[in-house]
Amino acid sequence: MFLLASHETKSSTSVLINLPLFRYSFERYDPLLHIRASGREIDVSAKAAREVCVAIKGSLVKDAKEYLEAVQSKKASVPFRRYKRGGAHRSETPGFHAGAYPVKAAKEVLNVLNNLEANAEFKGLDLDRLKIIHAAAERGRLTKSFTPRAQGRSSPSFNTLVHIEMVATEA
């Protein structure tokens, strides 16, 4: 889309780019008290990202980082509370029977958590007292692709991207 103003000539046009406007689902944000970070359009499982976010919500940032690193090395499992049908039981899952090791989701949530920690350091907050008060994963944009099949047909293979957001405050 080109925008042509009255004072411009046809040789100098400015291009308008419509970038997506992402908002946070956390509504009580106060810039003096809270720190927030987000990862947008990440290619991970939405179900696994949701369960990882539920598992770390309410914990300190340093404890959440240790937990996510243990999940990546498959030493600790994440309890799957909502998406538990057909899932394996884990004896080390804290407080719930069904669990899994979502390594890719844990890695991406850890990246957002590191970004949150850097934002807190920039604001001058104490990193040892930082507590996660909001962690959410939401389904994002759907990327569409098609796999060619026999007889000139094709099968859809759609991929849902995920938005991960976190808010923390000093405890």
Q: Token pair of 50, please?
A: 């949701």
Our separate counts of H helices and E strands in the chain read: 3, 7
pLDDT digits (tens, 9 = 90+) for 74-85: 999 998 888 777
Query: Rounded to a whole number, what is the largest CA-CA distance in the chain?
Result: 71
Q: Walk me through the domains of the chain, giving residue ranges and CATH numbers.
A: 29-170 (3.90.470.10)
Q: Quick one: residue 24, left, alpha or beta (phi over 0 = left, psi -120 to 50 = alpha)?
A: beta
Q: Is beta strand 154-170 parallel, antiparallel or unpaired with respect to 130-148?
A: antiparallel
Q: What pLDDT does 11 receive?
A: 57
Between these two residues, 88 and 69, which has the higher pLDDT value? Answer: 69
Residue type, 139: R
Position 1 pLDDT exceeds 70: no
